[in-house]
Chain A
């Protein structure tokens, strides 16, 4: 049986409200931290837990907190990255929508560990209803003395502000988020300096994902070692996975890291198998930015071992035969899905969302979209596949922020594993549109014209 740490009380009636949340043991981590622990103790527990950033990069959270500069007389900030815009990822929204106090509780505990008296939740602008839920929860926390001056008589002051974004994917990148929070154009900053040294308003700042901050609550409650027992190897704890695509039961699932991918897709406790009993074709394991993997490689690694839902196992084989856990946006495609179409959708997204600061990403994403559009429209040539490969290789690693990489990886992996499908599209474009492809075929004309 899979343990649940974050979504344990998700089904409780009225868990959105403070009273119900508190009656289920809510805010006990704040109580424990403020009364019985020093900030360094909390940091130590997080380090022991082996918690890794849940936003996509998987950087150890304890280490990130340890890097925070602590000069005298300068405020420190905690910023919660709730700008969840990755196609295929919807776990943070689910968490904030259904159990907002968990995030608030995590914010207070984490801020205590970092010595931050002000923290911000940067919420994606499209989540306007989530912003209302969060503001209501924050107001309740203020009323009950869990926020504001001298929390529960401990002498620790803390304020949380919710800041709505304005609809830019790039603001999920931490330095662009900080720029946007400061009221500027959301362009990523050139690093170094890192936010841990010079972040929001030039002060040391930690930027963490919603799920990472929420995970601090069970870590403080049960201890870091208990958290580290869950999971496999360096992938500890539980992870929220947003499962979508051609599966019987799409939705947000909390899994223990180390669950076999095969079980996750076919077990009734999770995705419940591929829709309509069709064959599995491919899986994008961690949100649109990570490489796509064909069915044989997602279920088993190249060495023939079963692939697990963990940072290491999904990355096994590098990008040649592996992928990444990323943010946990698990997109399943059955045999009727078109890889070329899917790639065009992703690439169009990255072209639309590129901030335009550095040239490889600005021009490269637009170029890739145009080539894919040409192939879809039936004018492609075999050279276009090589050109596409060449363009993505010139983007990867040469940009200011990871958006360039995120745009290049799906293209590279689609060509690497599904080159035959591009070739089929180029050789028989009309036939491809006829046999194609689930519901895409109906609006193909409008999609590519």
Chain B
């Protein structure tokens, strides 16, 4: 076991753990934000640079600090390592810079984007972004394309986190899409249009941190914060069958995998569960799902509903002028 100090809090983790996972073990207060790292996908991370941290002491053996900020999702801990995250002005500045870069070509179409409310980029820019843009240049634009029957790709919104590419590589049985072109012309694309056709392709939607890959069966039906998440399961031959149903009234509007505190899917689900089983009778309901992630969808309608305090005349009199 290695001892690591992150933002002054000490934690013991096994050898080979990344700084990010050590920080996540402590809690959300010290965990760096991530846009491209995904716990259930191998070799993910390292691309977005939002999780940069400062290593002020390399290890007990070699106490020199690391010269540059390091990507915490790809750097493993050493015994006695001291890491500064939110407390380091250097890190905060770099993170603000990365946020600005990610938003440089990202359209401001949250009002019409299905991801709004559960978008990691929204959360990131709320915490680390600037209130005003410093650019008036034209953004790069692409045509919206539908890849397969159920998924639509808005390349304009993509931040090139490579998560969906890793899903295609690691979960589905054949890689049919990837990144073409380079630099800021890079785009996620399929080899042949509408070629995505396999049982687990729907997981691309879940892993997408922004609204680039969206569920065509759910598009424009509701804002996510109007839907109510319920844990459910069914016997499925292909996957674990453990899902979250998103209800509006009595209708199941969409089905997704179960996401943890960090907004990352615990177990991937198959396309049958995701797209074809949209009746309550298909599922065994387990109960209301609490979303612990700090975001607008965590305003859970069932559990957090508190009756507002009624003001009396005395309360109003007691208010400061």
Contacts and interface: CB of A to CB of B under 8 A. Distances in A.
Interface of A: 168, 170, 185, 190, 351-360, 362-367, 370, 387, 393-395, 397-400
24 contacts: A170-B182, A185-B178, A190-B46, A352-B183, A354-B183, A356-B183, A357-B47, A359-B98, A359-B101, A359-B160, A360-B98, A362-B160, A362-B184, A362-B186, A363-B102, A363-B184, A366-B104, A366-B184, A367-B104, A394-B93, A394-B94, A394-B100, A398-B94, A398-B97
A398 B52 contact: yes
A354 B184 CA distance: 8
Nearest to B100: A394
Contacts of B178: 185
A317 B29 CA distance: 41
B181 A356 contact: yes
A185 B179 contact: yes
Contacts of B179: 185, 356
B128 interface: no
Shortest Cβ-Cβ A-B pairs, 10 listed: A394-B97, A356-B186, A363-B101, A354-B183, A190-B46, A363-B104, A366-B184, A397-B68, A356-B183, A359-B101
B120 interface: no
Contacts of A352: 183
Given A363-B105, A398-B52, A358 B46 contact: yes
Contacts, number: 89
Nearest to A394: B97
Contacts of B134: 387
Contacts of B159: 359
A295 to B, nearest CB: 31
Interface in B173-191: 178-179, 181-186
B48 to A, nearest CB: 5
Contact of B183 (A362, A370, A397, A399): A362
Interface in B83-126: 93-94, 97-98, 100-102, 104-105
B182 A354 contact: yes
Interface of B: 46-49, 52, 68-69, 71, 74, 93-94, 97-98, 100-102, 104-105, 134-135, 137, 159-160, 162, 178-179, 181-186
Given A398-B49, A398-B69, A366 B98 contact: no
A185 B74 CA distance: 20
A240 B277 CA distance: 68
A379 B84 CA distance: 41
Q: Which of A358, A362, A363 has the most C-beta atoms of chain B within 10 angstroms of its own C-beta?
A: A363
A352 B49 CA distance: 21
A366 B183 contact: yes
Contacts of A370: 135, 137
B170 to A, nearest CB: 16
A377 to B, nearest CB: 12
A363 B159 CA distance: 10
Contacts of B71: 190, 400
Nearest to B97: A394
Given A363-B102, A398-B97, A356 B185 contact: yes
A394 B98 contact: yes
A3 to B, nearest CB: 36
B253 to A, nearest CB: 32
A360 B97 contact: yes
A50 to B, nearest CB: 23
B68 A359 contact: no
A190 B48 CA distance: 12
A359 B183 contact: no
Contacts of A367: 101, 104, 135, 137
B80 to A, nearest CB: 19
A97 to B, nearest CB: 28
Contacts of B94: 394, 398
B69 A397 contact: yes
Given A359-B102, A363-B102, A397-B69, A353 B48 contact: no
Given A394-B98, A398-B94, A190 B74 contact: yes
A25 B140 CA distance: 58
B185 to A, nearest CB: 7
A400 B184 contact: no
A362 B100 CA distance: 12
Contacts of A393: 97
B47 A359 contact: yes
Q: Which of B48, B97, B105, B137 has the most C-beta atoms of chain A within 10 angstroms of its own C-beta?
A: B97
Q: Which of A359, A364, A365, A387 has the most C-beta atoms of chain B within 10 angstroms of its own C-beta?
A: A359
A362 B94 CA distance: 15
Nearest to A355: B182
Contacts of B46: 190, 358, 400
Contacts of A365: 183-184
Contacts of A360: 49, 97-98, 101
A217 B100 CA distance: 50
B36 to A, nearest CB: 9
A168 B181 CA distance: 11
Contact of B48 (A170, A358, A364): A358
B183 to A, nearest CB: 4
B44 to A, nearest CB: 11
Given A353-B182, A362-B101, A362-B160, 8 more contacts: A190-B71, A354-B182, A359-B47, A359-B102, A363-B104, A394-B93, A394-B94, A394-B97
Contact of A359 (B48, B74, B93, B181): B48
A364 to B, nearest CB: 6
Contacts of A362: 101, 160, 183-184, 186
A447 B63 CA distance: 51
Contacts of A353: 182-183
Contacts of B135: 367, 370
Contacts of B184: 351, 354, 356, 362-363, 365-366
Q: Which of B93, B104, B181 has the most C-beta atoms of chain A within 10 angstroms of its own C-beta?
A: B104
Contacts of A190: 46, 71, 74
